Homo-oligomer: A and B are copies of this chain.
Amino acid sequence: MAVRVDLNISLDGYATTTDQTPEYPFGQDWGRLVGPYVATRTFRERVLHETGGEGTTGVDDKYAEAYFDRIGAEIMGAGMFGLHNFPDDPDWQGWWGDEPPFRVPVYVLTHTPRPPLEMANGTRFEFITASPEEALEKALDVAGDRDIRVGGGPTVVRSFLEAGLVDQLHVGITPILLGRGINLWEGLRGLEDAYDVIAETAESGVVHLTFRG
């Protein structure tokens, strides 16, 4: 069992984008940040439910496959689920449609819990107010010998990293400079001391860094 994090970040460390408009609800930066990941065969099958086998199959796809491999439970922040965007919509079910890609229990950290959401494919969203340690305990109860992913956003990931709870951190660094957003690295001076760091470059230009504890 390992606690794992996988994030796409910019070269200057930003894991979220802040240029959202009504026309581009995720912002245009978001598309550039996650473009190589979204282009992988794994993402297109697993998240977009495409069945034609299209998408890239190189280094980026290897990491995309690993993203979904052996996960038994997921923890994410309210922002990643979308509660900050739609705080007053009791019917909001996340960004991922009727068949979210998780297929495991997902613990959404929030100060304003709501009833759990049972989705079609094994995904169950449960809304809890909990510290990183408490959330991890819940996830461990259901994950068996499988891994637990802390999905994001970066503020939640940082709280798990600061608490020393993450066994493996993988970042796909897209070589763009965003200059604004939430910076993953803030407050994490010396993080590398607890890990071995392995780098691999993808055909897309993304640099994959893996911190292994």
Contacts and interface: CB of A to CB of B under 8 A. Distances in A.
A192 B186 CA distance: 23
Interface in A20-79: none
Given A13-B13, A197-B205, A201-B201, A189 B180 contact: yes
Q: Is the interface of A mostly helix, strand, loop or mixed?
A: loop
Contacts of A205: 197-199
B188 A176 contact: no
A90 interface: no
A175 interface: yes
Interface residues of A, number: 26
Contacts of A180: 189
A198 to B, nearest CB: 8
A177 B209 CA distance: 13
24 contacts: A11-B185, A11-B192, A11-B209, A12-B185, A12-B188, A13-B13, A175-B192, A175-B197, A175-B209, A176-B190, A176-B192, A177-B190, A177-B191, A178-B189, A179-B187, A179-B188, A179-B189, A180-B189, A197-B205, A198-B205, A199-B205, A200-B201, A201-B207, A207-B207
Interface of A: 11-13, 175-180, 183, 185-192, 197-201, 205, 207, 209
9 smallest beta-carbon distances between A and B, as pairs: A179-B189, A12-B185, A175-B197, A199-B201, A177-B191, A199-B207, A176-B192, A177-B188, A207-B207
